[in-house]
Amino acid sequence: MSTDLVAFFGVITEPLLVRDGQEVTLQGEKHNRVNVYSEMLLHVVRDYAGIGDWRSLEEHEIEFFYDALRYELKKATKPRPPGKR
């Protein structure tokens, strides 16, 4: 992989992901552009089925749609006490 691609894809990125009912950053180098935006895109495509060609979405568009899902994701991924489902 060229150094340009490593510089682009390996960059530590700002957006936080929602896991376990809260906003988190992935540990260490895992919180990079590829990992973060891949996870965000998976949620966006799943929840916005009519979005069209997901391959044409730009980062700011992925963030826009993901931000709209944050409340629902926090609620859906919040840990539940044992025995309550």
- What are the average pLDDT values for consecutive 10-residue runs of the chain, which has 85 residues? 46 73 81 86 92 91 92 91 74
pTM of the complete model? 0.75
| Structural domain includes residue 84 | no
Question: What pLDDT does 41 receive?
Answer: 94
Asked if residue 13 belongs to a domain, the reply is yes
Query: Is position 10 within any domain?
Result: yes
Residue 15's pLDDT is 73
> According to the model, what pLDDT value does residue 61 have?
92
Query: Which pLDDT score, from 0 to 100, does residue 3 have?
Result: 45
In a domain, 85, yes or no: no
Handedness of CA 53, 58, 59, 64 (dihedral sign): negative
Residue range(s) defining the domain that contains residue 10: 3-77
Domain count, the chain: 1
The predicted structure's pLDDT at residue 5? 42
